[in-house]
Amino acid sequence: GVLADAASTALSVAGLPDWHRIARKMGIKYVMLVDEAGTVYMNPAMAARIQFPGEKRPKIVVSEPL
């Protein structure tokens, strides 16, 4: 919906240095970002919901809780 659209735009603009602060300000519960190298960044709530099947898993960075 509208919140997802606004959140994805805000988090994309914020980028890796600022995504956590922006997500917290917006009250977002679940966040996952992927950088150009394929590294996956997410908060613990999202990490608890996501599974990467198969042997080749991406590098995963889990942030502090939001």
CA-based radius of gyration for the chain: 12
3-state helix, strand, coil in the chain (%, to 5): 45, 15, 40
What string of pLDDT tens digits covers the 66 residues of the chain?
888 899 999 999 999 999 999 999 999 999 999 999 999 999 999 999 999 998 999 999 999 999
Does the CA dihedral 61-2-24-8 come out positive or negative? positive
Indicate the number of domains in the chain. 1
Q: What does the alpha-carbon distance between residue 24 and residue 11 come to, in Å, rounded to a whole number? A: 11
Against a cut of 0.75, is the pTM above it? Answer: yes
Q: What is the residue range of 41's domain?
A: 2-62
Do residues 37 and 28 make contact, with C-beta atoms less than 8 angstroms apart? Answer: no
